[in-house]
Amino acid sequence: MTPFGRLSLNQATVNPLTVAEAVDLCARHEIPAIGLWREPVARAGLAAAAAVVRSAGLRVSSLCRGGFFTHADPAARQAAIAGNKAAIAEAAALGAPVLVLVSGGLVPGSKDIVLARRMIADAIGEIVPVAQAHGVRLGIEALHPVFAADRCVITRLGEALDLAETFPVDAVGVVVDTYHVWWDAALPADIARAGDRIVSYQVCDWTLPLPADTLLGRGHVGDGHIDFPPITAAVTAAGYAGDIEVEIFNQDIWSAPATTTAATIRDRFPQVF
């Protein structure tokens, strides 16, 4: 198939759209897969969202997202685990093979990054049996270290992989997101080591300057500084042949017409290879 056969629109890229609108956008722009988010799925209703995706013939590449396991209050930790178990069931209902995990930042009120990491490992251990029961793989995502304090203390692919490898391969893998890991000198070796632990490959570009809200600083492929082809080649050599999600958090892109965004995504997608 052409490269476009592997293209997936992560719903966050068209944040203002409903599930039905995003599905329709994919159909009109010949994008064969979609990465869904829990919040718009909940607004649509889980069964309705699953039905609209299925009837359009789209693959669901992933569900975003679980995680946020780091809490000072034991009740809050238990609530997070319960929420992640629910997310796994939702992923199964949607036909998503992967639940992406953004694991959480430092525990509120604590600077102990080792404690945060241990809390994450413990929580993943608790949800693994549920993931296995549903046939959904958990994808540990390393986030860029700029988010270490407040969103995810797991900051490198190698670290995500070390954690994933403590669990069965059918249950836990890693997400490779170019935006978060492009700067890492160990990236080629870590991707090679990841092998069949790679459960998702996401792309967007590192653009400067960062906006006031650091979370929204991502760009279309080609607008920034990331050299995509070597990363894609490494991911492919590691054995990953699944969907490639374009996931961009950017207020300007959210404000643009969705058809423009979809056209740009298709236009730029060959630059990933």
Instruction: Give the footprint of a copy of itself on this chain (CB under 8 A).
Output: 106, 111-114, 117, 144-146, 148-150, 153-156, 158-159, 162, 182-186, 206, 208-210, 212-214, 224-227, 230
Nearer to a copy of itself, 21 or 150 (CB): 150
Return the half-sphere exposure (C-beta side, CA atoms, 13 A cut-off) of residue 36.
35
- In angstroms, give the least distance from the CB of 174 to a copy of itself: 14
Is 85 or 197 the residue whose CB approaches a copy of itself more closely? 197
Q: Which is nearer to a copy of itself, 50 or 152 (CB)?
A: 152
Torsion angle in degrees (nearest 10) through CA of 25, 27, 29, 33: 90
Rg (CA), the chain: 17
Q: How many CB atoms are located within 10 Å of the residue 178 CB? A: 25
Beta carbon of residue 208, minimum distance to a copy of itself (angstroms, whole number) = 6
3-state secondary structure of 50: helix
How far from 211 is each of 28, 205, 218, 251, 258, CA to CA, in Å? 31, 14, 9, 10, 21
Nearer to a copy of itself, 37 or 249 (CB): 249
As measured in angstroms, the least distance from the Cβ of 139 to a copy of itself is 18
CB closer to a copy of itself out of 37 and 269? 269
Residue 193 has phi, psi (to 5 degrees) of -65, -30
Distance of CA 38 to the CA centre of its chain: 12
Look up residue 29 and give its two tokens.
């722009």
**Min dist. Cβ of residue 158 to a copy of itself (A):** 8
Asked if residue 109 lies in contact with residue 149, where contact means CB atoms within 8 angstroms, the answer is: no
CA atoms within a 13 Å half-sphere pointing along the CA-CB vector of 217 = 17
CB of residue 221 to a copy of itself, shortest distance in Å: 12
> Residue 34 CB, nearest distance to a copy of itself (Å)?
28
- Of 52 and 107, the one with the shorter C-beta distance to a copy of itself is 107
